[in-house]
Amino acid sequence: MTILPIDGGRYGTDEMKHIFDDQNRIDAQLKIEGAAALAQSEIGMIPSEAAAAIQETATSGAITARRVSQLEAERDHDTAALVEALAERCPADAKPWVHYGLTSNDLVDTANSMQMRDALQIIELKLSRLASTLADTASRYAALPAVGRTHGQHASIIAFGLKFANWASEMANHLTRMKEMRRRVLICKILGVVGTGSLMGPEAPKVQRSVAARLKLHPATVATQVVPRERYAEYIFWMALTGTTLEKMAVEIRNLQRTEIGEVSEPFRKGQMGSSAVPVKRNPIKSERITSLARMLKGQVGIALDNVPLWHERDLSNSANERFVIPISSILADEMLETMLKIIDELYVNTDRITANLEATGGQIFAEFVLEAMIRKGVPRIEAYTDVQRVAFEANNTGTPYADAIKQDANISSILTPDEIDAIFVPDAHLGASHIIIRDVQEAVRRTISSDV
């Protein structure tokens, strides 16, 4: 019976879920065993023939999750079961050297790093594509005036593309954080029971560096029996922070898709049903899914932080929950990215509605610019502000277009001519530096995607 939706196929891509399946985890730990044996043989710590046999057996594909599970049922220890499954397939002269100088978390933690490494490779590609798509969309709508809202109220005019530029910039920032994070998070730890490399002696750091290089990881500078869990907390926090930006985007898309606003809508394929009862509804279900999954993703951060303060050189209070929080955080973040890519790729932008919404307040969205024009004519700011506000409130009560109300007001019309007033009420004149900002974001996104940091 399937209990978790990520297991049942409802959420999560196959490529991401494969990284965290049982066989892949076991294969990763076996690669560590093989790499450690080769590294040890290179400095004469174990016989080279034994190391070659261990490496060949470990990477043969013959050791299955099913066999490890059978042994674990007897031994009640998953790592011991894996080591036994490896040893039973090795030649007799290699068996004594299997897992030499290692401890469970040399395998567990280093395999975690391998899985996180592969997860980040998948996410990096999608994050880069999303940042690039958002930047291109920003450019497409760089010259489209739209309502800028604060507190849910019409505030002033923006370029519609500026919304996408903001999102593109944050995605690029997440990409930079991810690239910087790799060296801190993707750690190879081969230092034995309490982090001293006791059985391997002074050569332990050399062995660890060799294994790290083979696995494309970074050697631990220092550890106890385990990699410091601050590293995992950073990984999970990064996933949650990225997911929260996706949620921010989703919330804005949901709001802009409201019937009363109607400026964008999610893709709606032929045959799709928006409601089981109301045939005409086109609900923003993908954006709502992102919001929902973000709540679960953010919940993993607290668990990861609680795992940092372990007893002495380690205890097991982190072990069980990390089997959930690392895969779930990765799978959810990937699912949210995948969903947002689908939304943005096919997002419908209703330019007519965007333009019409500028006039929803009868021109009062231009109040900022009326105020500025009066100040430039030498009117003290507080006097100008009072007149602009008074006329706006009166016009709102009477339903008078704001430009007409200004022309009819003795105080303001004595300062501004009709032509000067008409020149203010032109949306395209008030985009400010939007096109420059959007261009700069595009360039920054391109640099970030191509940078190794």
Residues tagged active-site: 151, 275
Residue 215's nearest CA partner among 84, 80, 39 is 39
Alpha-carbon separation of residue 433 from 332, 375, 376 (angstroms): 37, 21, 20
Distance CA 268, CA 281 (A): 10
Burial readout 373-403 (b: 16 or more C-beta within 10 A, e: otherwise): bbeeeebeeeebeebbeebbeebeeeebebb
Residue 218 bridge partners (DSSP): 187
Evaluate whether 101 touches 404 at the Cβ level (below 8 Å): no
Torsion, CA 351, CA 357, CA 363, CA 364, rounded to 10: -130
Encoded tokens for 373: 């024009």
| Exposure on the CB side of residue 452, measured as CA atoms within 13 A | 1
Which residues have C-beta within 8 Å of that of residue 407, sequence separation ≥ 6?
413, 418, 421
Encoded tokens for 123: 């996410």
Which residues have C-beta within 8 Å of that of residue 155, sequence separation ≥ 6?
147, 148, 149, 365
Judge residue 240's burial from the number of C-beta atoms within 10 Å of its C-beta, 0-12 exposed, 13-18 middle, 19 or more buried. Answer: buried
